[in-house]
Structure 1
Amino acid sequence: MSPHPSLSVGSIALLRPWRLSDARAVVDAFNDPEIQRWHVRRADSEDEARQWISEWRDGWTAEAQLNWALVDRTSDSLTGRISLKCVDLHDGSAEAAYWMAPAWRGRGLCSQALTTLCQWAFREVGFQRIGLEHSVANLASCRVAEKAGFRVEGIRRSAALHADGWHDMHVHALLAGDTQDRR
């Protein structure tokens, strides 16, 4: 795969490769109760966050997961994470995942960044399908998916363990042709 690109998200934000210096911001984000609610994994220290960032960067090299830091274009402060995991270049598919720092929620930035990433994945990499799953109780994540054009495909029952137990997962997908339908 080509070098890890940075992608413009409108005039306000940028999807860029992760840096080890982002570790403090990752720890701060994972101290947020909403992120803790939807993620079992915790970043308890900057060392642990640096390990995650190293894994995220290694995922690009291995062509297994493609991770971006979503940052404010002016300050370079971390606003969130967007990734394509379960990458299968042969089948042209991946699964999208994301989270946003609390101060940046509710502005439409996550759905805009997800749209930008999917357009890049379809156009530049040649993906055919990008899936996405979230807890049926995570209404904000559902809004992000729908605003980015993902269509609902169904529900997987008791499919993911969260801090409060097993959750049914809403299944969405965006196909390369769906983006043409939205023009």
Structure 2
Amino acid sequence: MPDVIVRKMIYSVEEIFHEGGPRPEKSLRRAAALAIIENPFSGRYESEIQGFMEDLKPLGLSMAQRLLDMLGGADQIEGYGKGAMIGEGGELEHGALWHAPGGYAMRQVLANSNAIVPSCKKVTGVGGRLDVPITHINASYVRSHFDSMEVGSNDTPRTNEMVLALVMSTGARIHDRAGGLAVADIIGKDGLR
């Protein structure tokens, strides 16, 4: 498989203090790590692409560790998600190659995460934006953690590029009150409840 050629990395942190309601004791922080890489399959159909997932694993681990560092360590993380944007010369399936390297990287650095990492992907032009879904790291049914973080950059993805995204958060939506399974009631064995 081809080498992973990174053009640039983008890191960002949001800190939310309130959404118009009372200020909670603890703010919500969400962080994103984006890798803008060359799409080695751009401009042509390639039947065998799975090997590139193995090549992406070190990048995924590096991005996941950077998110932990930005948010204060694994014990601070309650939510996560991943996504990919593919430049116009590629296809949606190229973004699917991020599922395993991105998701397993976050689960590896968190150690205590049973829920599947939610994901989204799309083919887009330069300046595309992506709403990366976020759910609780141990129980996908925890409604308070259903969230997203918008990511993107004004010069990505170029036609022959992919934008690979990882997102982590430190808690529930700042004024969550939509009910559902509470964090205190998580069993954490099946990744759902």
Q: Does the alignment reach a TM-score above 0.5?
A: no
Larger helix share, 1 or 2 = 1
TM-score of the superposed pair, with normalisation by structure 1: 0.34
Choose between structure 1 and 2 for higher RCO, CA contacts under 8 A separated by at least 6 residues.
Answer: 2
TM-score of the superposed pair, with normalisation by structure 2: 0.32
The structure number with the bigger radius of gyration is: 2
